[in-house]
Structures are given as structure tokens and as C-alpha cells.
Amino acid sequence: MMMKANNAIKWSWFMNLIVFFLHCLNGIAVESERVPAMFVFGDSLVDVGNNNYLSSIAKANYFPYGVDFAKFGPTGRFSNGKTFVDILGENLGVPYPPAFADPNTAGPAILGGVNYASAAAGILDETGQHYGQRYSLSQQVLNFETTLNQIRTLMSGRNLTEYLGKSIAVLVFGSNDYINNYLMPSVYSSSFYYSPPDFANLLLNHYTRQLLALYNLGLRKFLLPGIGPLGCIPNQRASAPPDRCVDYVNQILGTFNEGLRSLVDQLNKHPGAMFVYGNSYGSVGDILNNPGTYGKKCYMLQNFFSFTEI
């Protein structure tokens, strides 16, 4: 996300989620239970450079991306600075998880976690294919298995079980399945075959299978942000009346977000599981409705949101 704002805004609209998640972790991430690693799955909101190594037009390894990221500059992050998982990691005391596709992501470097996120990625494999190569959710889970096999050469048995159980998995998915799939009928046929509720259920079913796959591989703690108000990003507002969000787009997201919240409740019934739902829609809505709280008396939508979700 390229944003023009003061430091409070630059910290991203996921900061409320970070505070909430850290609160949920209170009593768990204490010294004796320190979070050893963070594994990140998702799209451009949390990609730290995987697409640099893919044949994709969705890249962010050039200025002005990274213009405010001191000492690093453009890294492949779709941000002027840090992503929300960078800040989450800092609060948890773990290093920035390196990009899975980076050749240097090997050996002891993977023990602090790995980032598998890929711009244009979706829950569905076909989502974002018009951008070129990307790691879909299912591929990212396979990539995690590759990492896990490498970790098994560094630890095993009870140590590995405890390591995975204390680690944090962050998954940021869903936006592209709408912006770069369902809402692009000229490229994708999904909107012809599925009603909005049916499409949301399709996504949730796919999501559930992959989340359970990660759980069965040993991960236990998950942060799952919902989808933000995509009807308010410029590539949707371009077809709306001036200074208006696209209500239809925001409305159809409701089924997915509500379903994800319910899914979290179901997944928390698994032994040792801790799934946390992040209300990103509400967090963004609070910023838009109360901009003064975040350092701006008047803040135009087009200056806040990225031009397209990839």
C-alpha cells in the first residue's frame, strides 16, 4: 500500500488487529513461552519479496515502494514502509520472516519463521492468474511443507512439536478472490456460476481445508484477518458516484467475513488450537469514520487505500 500520511497512518490499518492479537496472546507469549517463529501466508498486504523471484507483473521492488523503510528501501513489500506483520513480529520479538523464494532462506535462517505471501494470490488457485506467476494458498501450504522438512533436519521430536505449537501463523487471504476474480467477469467466470453467498462458501471451504492442513502439520496459533471494505478502494470507487464507496462490493464481503468468524469458532474446538479472527473491516471503517483519531482531520479515501489489491 502506498500511503501519504503521518506515522500513525503509515503503521497500517491492521494496527488494531495487532493490539487485539497481542492481547489474546497475553499469558501465552511470556518468557517461558516465547514465540520462536512467525510463518506468514497471504497476498500483497504481507508479501515481503516472493514475487521478486516469480514471472509476475505484480512486483514492488522499486521506488516509491519502500521509500520510508529505513536501511532497506524497496524489498518487494507493497508498502512505503513496514507491513503489519513486520510490526507484529517486532512486538512478538521475532525477526522479519524472510521470503520463501529468496535463495538465502535456508538453514538456521528459517528458524525465526518464513514468509510465503505472494502478491495476486488468492484462496482459489486461479485467482490473480492474469498477473502471471504467484503462490496461491494451496501452493503456500506446500511451500511450508518444504520449510518444515528443512526444519526437521535442525530439530525433531518433542522440540519440534513445541516449536511449532508456540509459533504464530498469520494468513491474509480473500481480497484477491473478489477484486481479481469474482469482480472481474471479463476475465473470470466465477460470478456466472456462483451467487455471492455461494462464492463465499466456496472460499471458506477451500480455506478450511488448507487451515486444517497447517494444523495437522503442527501449527497451533493462527491469526486470520477478514477482508477490509474493498468497495472503498480506488479501483472500485472509479465506477461509483463521487466520494462514495461501492456498497454492493462491501455487502457481498459480509458473508465471507461472517463465515470466517464462525469458522474460527469451529476450528478452536481442535485440541490445542488458538485461532483468532481479525476484524479488518471494522478497523478500516473506524479509521474512515473517525480519521481525527488517527492523526488526520480530513483524509480522502483515495489517499489511504492502495490503487488495487494484488
CATH code, domain carrying 171:
3.40.50
Task: Give the per-residue pLDDT at 5.
Answer: 35
Q: Is residue 51 part of a domain?
A: yes
pLDDT score of 282: 75
Would you say residue 296 has pLDDT above 70? no
Q: What's the rounded mean pLDDT across residues 255-259?
A: 97
Does residue 27 register a pLDDT over 70? no
pTM of the full structure: 0.88
- Tens digit of each residue's pLDDT (9 = 90 or more) over 86-100: 999 998 899 999 999
Q: Is 168 a residue whose pLDDT tops 80?
A: yes
Q: Let me know if residue 308 belongs to a domain.
A: no
Residue 2 lies in a domain: no
Please choose, from the candidates 92, 73, 126, the residue with its C-alpha nearest in 3D space to the C-alpha of residue 21. Answer: 92
Q: Mean pLDDT lowest for which of 10-14, 162-166, 185-189, 267-271?
A: 10-14
Q: Which domain holds residue 289?
A: 7-303
What pLDDT does 283 receive?
76
Confidence check: pLDDT of 167 > 70: yes
Q: What's residue 294's pLDDT?
A: 67
Question: According to the model, what pLDDT value does residue 19 have?
Answer: 54
Model confidence band, residue 290 (pLDDT cutoffs 50, 70, 90): confident
In a domain, 175, yes or no: yes
Residue 1 placed within a domain: no
Residue 31 lies in a domain: yes
Percent pLDDT > 70 in the chain is 84
Domain count, the chain: 1
Residue 194 lies in a domain: yes
pLDDT at 132: 98
| Model pLDDT, residue 236 | 82
Question: What pLDDT digit, counting tens, does each position of 41-89 carry?
Answer: 999 999 999 999 999 999 999 999 999 998 899 999 999 999 989 999 9
Q: What does the pLDDT look like over 230-250, one tens digit per residue?
A: 998 887 877 777 778 889 999
Q: State the pLDDT confidence band at 219, using cuts at 50, 70 and 90.
A: very high
Residue 298 within any structural domain of the chain: yes
